[in-house]
A and B are shown apart, each in its own frame.
Chain A
């Protein structure tokens, strides 16, 4: 195949020399090659992911002065304040229920979301993996397709359904005469609304790993269980579920980790009644201008997520849940 005509012999010769010396440099020092290839990503992520987090870590140890000024005296007070607060009247330390409640609410909501996603996702993944036939990929594709649409639009679509009294579900129930026009069902701005939003958003995160695990499942094992007289539920409980533990574990982590730090769904669908840690972090920075405290909370959230992931990797490595064969 002919190359584009060279502009001049000299520049071409120069290019060749340049090229040969570049190649020989790379050939002699493989580390240079790796370094050059990886330098952009190290630069970018170092500067715009790692450095910002280090700054937040730094702020979390600063002392809060009057009027939101931060004094450069290192202190652990901000971390202490996450757990305990001084009673203004008696001066005694007491648990900081406002934030402990937000933490426990986040954990509880994330746990419920995970459980519901697994319960809803398992039958779907099971059916697609075992009975999907040649349309398997289409079915799973259709399942994760809405995930690529705007997160905000999806949340808004649910708010449009759930609002009262003008939301779609309430309107249908009112027009059908099932509920009274003056007493619509309140779905939004409470825990139910947030939970519906989170399950809807994170369901694909559970289905994908479950599907991957069920797809790898050796069907002859199911047949063997059947031949040996296992009832359907025994087969499910003693064969299928143990063999897909890896998928269940990954699905749980993929749902739990983002939902514990959720910000937007409680913000829009919880209407300040269902604040999670993410909302309190944002409020501390944006509304209260309390950076030191907000930083300590952010670090707390990061540590929580890291612990979860660490436990996940420990379990998945030690038990070898992924490639388990009987």
Chain B
């Protein structure tokens, strides 16, 4: 901090040199260079956040030495564990329900024509384009209207509602890739509709269904706006806890959010990676059931 005059001047000079080099570089902008800058814009904030979660000083963004202090403080912070539990329950249950409902919906949309299909589709994707704050507020009004106490149940009801469209989209994407003649082949070989569904269609769709679940998981887990309106102060899931920490309701919160953000980022990035791997899988057999050799 107590910089003397000569070093400050030297620093300024080196910065000026760096800037002129940068400008000269930008003069002959190469596409990969530009691309690199944009990827830097995308990743730098998260990487800096992760780096500073190991900083000894939490509130100042200047490196003061390596420390695991914030992780220790975070992990010993009692409300964190309660929030994590609530988040996992809400997300787990709602992803399970929305995956089942979404898969059924996608199947009906893909296979059958029915009356009012256009109207149905526009209502189905409503949660994706209605502003989150409006959806959250209207659910809040709805729950107060019917005098339903807000808490874990209301969060699950809301999360299922806004994850269904995502599941439908992902499963529909998988349906466009699979070979539907296999279904006809099964029926020709004497399987009835339910057997075909269970033994042929579902195994074929399974990667898509799992991918939908893996994509819906972070979607639901990380949702803040809708969750914020449908929960009560006593039932704060992880994003609401993070929000309260950001608003500074606890001293020394900054370093703790950095640590929490790092852990959450690492954990949630694993999910979409798994989803992508699953969506690309050509063949997939249900666990525990052997594919019979032909």
Contacts and interface: CB of A to CB of B under 8 A. Distances in A.
The reply to whether chain A is a binding partner of chain B is yes
Interface of A: 1, 19, 22-23, 26-27, 30-31, 33-34, 37-38, 40-42, 44-45, 48-53, 55-56, 59, 120, 123-124, 127-128, 131, 141-143, 145-146, 148-154, 156-161, 163, 166-168, 170-171, 175-178, 200, 203, 257-258, 260-264, 268, 278, 281-282, 285, 291, 294-295, 298, 301-302, 305, 309
Interface stretch (B69-77, B205-213, B269-277): B269-277
Interface size class of B (residues with CB under 8 A): 35 or more
B59 A166 contact: yes
B132 interface: yes
B127 interface: yes
Given A49-B130, A51-B142, A166-B59, 19 more contacts: A19-B192, A38-B104, A44-B101, A55-B145, A141-B276, A146-B42, A146-B46, A148-B271, A149-B268, A150-B222, A150-B264, A150-B268, A151-B239, A166-B60, A177-B3, A200-B45, A263-B131, A263-B132, A263-B133
Nearest to A161: B45
B243 A152 contact: yes
Given A37-B104, A38-B108, A156 B261 contact: yes
A43 B32 CA distance: 50
Given A23-B192, A150-B239, A40 B133 contact: no
Nearest to A260: B131
Interface stretch (B20-28, B78-86, B154-162, B173-181): B154-162
A284 to B, nearest CB: 9
A149 B46 contact: yes
B34 interface: yes
B15 A258 contact: no
B132 A261 contact: yes
Contact of B35 (A1, A127, A264): A127
B67 interface: no
A48 B161 contact: yes
A149 B264 contact: yes
B242 to A, nearest CB: 5
B107 interface: yes
Nearest to A308: B129
15 contacts: A44-B161, A49-B123, A52-B135, A143-B39, A148-B268, A152-B242, A156-B242, A160-B258, A170-B61, A200-B45, A263-B131, A268-B246, A281-B133, A281-B134, A305-B131
Most chain A beta-carbon contacts within 10 A, residue among B38, B102, B104, B131 = B131
Nearest to B222: A150
| Chain A contact residues, majority secondary structure | helix
Contacts of A19: 192, 194
B257 interface: yes
Interface of B: 3, 8-9, 11-12, 15, 31-32, 34-35, 38-39, 41-46, 48-49, 52, 59-62, 100-102, 104-105, 107-108, 112, 114, 120, 123-124, 126-127, 129-135, 137-142, 145, 157-158, 160-161, 164, 192-194, 215, 218-219, 221-225, 229, 239, 242-243, 246, 254, 257-258, 260-261, 264-265, 268-269, 271-272, 276, 292
A309 B31 contact: no
B224 A264 contact: yes
Most buried by B among A37, A153, A166, A305: A153
A120 B242 CA distance: 30
A42 B246 CA distance: 38
Given A41-B124, A154-B46, A160-B258, A148 B218 contact: yes
A50 B135 CA distance: 10
Contact of B112 (A30, A127, A154, A302): A30
Contact of B242 (A40, A42, A153): A153
Nearest to A144: B272
Contacts of B12: 176-178
A48 B142 contact: yes
Contacts of A120: 38, 41
